Amino acid sequence: MPEFPWGAGAATGIGSMPGTDIAEAQRIVLGELPGLPHLAELPERGPGADMIGRSAGFLVEMPVQLYTGRWQMASRPGKDLRRTFDLLERDLDQLSEQAAGYSGPLKIQAAGPWTLAASLDLPIGGRMLRDPGAVRDLTDSLAEGLRRHVAEVRKRVPGATVLLQLDEPSLPAVLAGHVPTESGLSAYRTVDGPDASTRLRTVVETVDAPVIVHCCAPGLPLRVVRDTTAAAVAFDLSLLTDLDPLGEAIEAGLGIFVGAAPTRPADGLRPESKQIAERVGTLWQRLGFPAARLPEQVVITPACGLAGAPAGYVRALLKACTEAGRRIAEV
């Protein structure tokens, strides 16, 4: 079994947090997720803090702008991109200040190339997904931009082992040919699995950091993720329908970030670490792997991002995930 770049019984968040106060959000993350904290994201701050705008800000020499409420490729950088850079700089400043002296794994996040291609508009109209050449250029640009981002975070938190999470919620739709055109009357081309893996692997091989591919949409394409040579896959446990591909991925040495904690309170109940740990333990037992491998290979997370969740619940949820991780490490 490979060595994983996180400690036994680790827990982390997916990335997004509620509200608009980055200082408070980062304090919560570092306080409640001491074994594997992440750079907090606050999409409620608006354009440039949203997943697509923030991630498009990493593109090298491929500027973007807002046009009729959507992100579109632009001829030159403008005010929308300046706002994106400013928000990221504030976030990194808070991380530098609050994580001073931290040593250990630290996760950062960005949308992957397929989700960006399915979301960004070409200047002439239509998504970038329609043009294979544009997707290739986008991937190369993103890979270089994220390599620089990883290096910047390393500089700001020298004791950290930086992990990069690629958010790919659109990947199943891209593979199935279910990304609708602007008219809604048809869909963009189907992308085959090897092509999808190749583009993702370009990012994985460029960034010089362990990569986690995150997809909390139905139809998680585990074969595609495995072929990217990523270190781990992150998913929503409640959407998992077929255990065989997951078992094969675990056997192949893929790390598993299991979204086992609900992102919204059910019936007003607070999250319970015991229940979260039991959900993960039951999954592992059904897969039939040795119990000793569980805390090494599995990281516990919320089911997805936490933007819009009640603030008090979020703190309790992250704390419960950390306690669930300790529970599975003690078994």
The whole-model pTM stands at 0.96
**The pLDDT of residue 270 is above 90:** no
The residue count of the chain comes to 331
- Residue type for 17, please? M
The end-to-end CA distance of the chain, in Å, is 19
Digit-coded pLDDT (tens) for 199-255 = 999 999 999 999 999 999 999 999 999 999 999 999 999 999 999 999 999 999 999
Confidence of residue 268 (pLDDT cuts 50, 70, 90): low
Q: Name the residue with tokens 């490979």.
A: 2
The CA-based angle 168-159-12, given to 5 degrees, is: 40
Looking at residue 271, what is its pLDDT?
84
Specify the CATH architecture of the domain 22-330.
Alpha-Beta Barrel (3.20)
Looking at residue 267, what is its pLDDT?
66
Digit-coded pLDDT (tens) for 20-79 = 999 999 999 999 999 999 999 999 999 999 999 999 999 999 999 999 899 999 999 999
φ, ψ for residue 225, nearest 5 deg: -65, -45
- Residue type for 137, please? D
φ, ψ for residue 243, nearest 5 deg: -80, -25
Looking at residue 1, what is its pLDDT?
64
Looking at residue 152, what is its pLDDT?
98
Looking at residue 197, what is its pLDDT?
97
Confidence of residue 266 (pLDDT cuts 50, 70, 90): confident
Report the pLDDT averaged over residues 159-181: 96
Digit-coded pLDDT (tens) for 188-213 = 889 999 999 999 999 999 999 999 99
> Residue 81 and residue 218: Cα distance in Å, rounded?
32
| CA distances for 285 relative to 190, 253, 258, 274, 278, angstroms | 36, 17, 14, 16, 10
Q: Domain residue spans in the chain?
A: 22-330
- Residue type for 111, please? A
